[in-house]
Amino acid sequence: MTDPRPVLVIHGGAGTIARSAAGRDGEAPYHAALSEILAVGEICLREGGSALEAVAIAVDLLEECPLFNAGHGAVFTSAGTHELDAAIMDGATLRAGAVAGLGRVRRPGRAARAVMDEGTHVLLAGEGAEDFCRRRGLEMVAPDFFSTEARRRQLAAAQEGGRISLDHDENAPLDERQKFGTVGAVALDRHGHLAALTSTGGMTNKRPGRIGDTPLIGAGTYADDRTAAVSCTGTGEVFIRAAAAHDVCARMAYAGLGLEEAAQAVVRDALTPLGGQGGLIAVDARGNVAMPFNTAGMYRGLVRAGDAPTTAIF
């Protein structure tokens, strides 16, 4: 059996995106950002980097890009603050780490990795998580580091309308009123190992202390070399109730489904009947990729070692 060909898959959120309102000018920045991030990840995998390293690199860059709701450019809570969550999982060992409710750690994905590497706990939240990150030497920032004017306008619009918004400004070029703001990456390396990493700023105007599916292992993030690596984006409460990320792997392990069939079944049969909107990205140990969603679009892309990146929205 030949070694699997490394692959990296990323997403920048899913949602009801109006193609007619987007136009090429509106779509272009997203395609460019996704392509640039995939290209960096491809170098990592092509040069022998692990799946864990590849997803970490990809999410680092996604968190620093204000187009996406994670890290710099994260959305605001109803209190005008930022609360960021992230989770990572190593498919080779089933080790996992997660953080929730961060407001001063620059890169939540790295914080999740630090929790996993330290190994005592899986999920740390709030002040305790930030103290842990500080002691581990992670970069800390002032809370307004994450703020952008576009997000402030989005919060004002949500509060004026008395609603909780899942991402982006009311007048964004891709009509992102229904865009679910999460970023994520899954990867397969040359040794056949899988990894998944997901990061989010949550929902605009959410209640302080709300935690969605992203940092919950098995809900928004999961990886197991025996089945697949999965990163989800969507209505977090429903993804939690459906244990969506793990459900993909369970359908493969216990029902013998292939990756595409299992992923589609979770979105179609588990999430949709509960009112869950969004999607997921997944890769298995053979390099098969699935990217199902039940919204009009999902920011996504993939790259295989030695190839150029491909990206899509609709």
Catalytic residue, candidates 2, 16, 81, 182? 182
Active site residue 120: no
For residue 303, the Cα-to-chain-centroid distance in whole angstroms is 17
Please provide residue 57's backbone torsions phi and psi, each rounded to the nearest 5 degrees.
-60, -45
Written as six digits, the tokens of 24 are 């090429």
Catalytic residues: 182
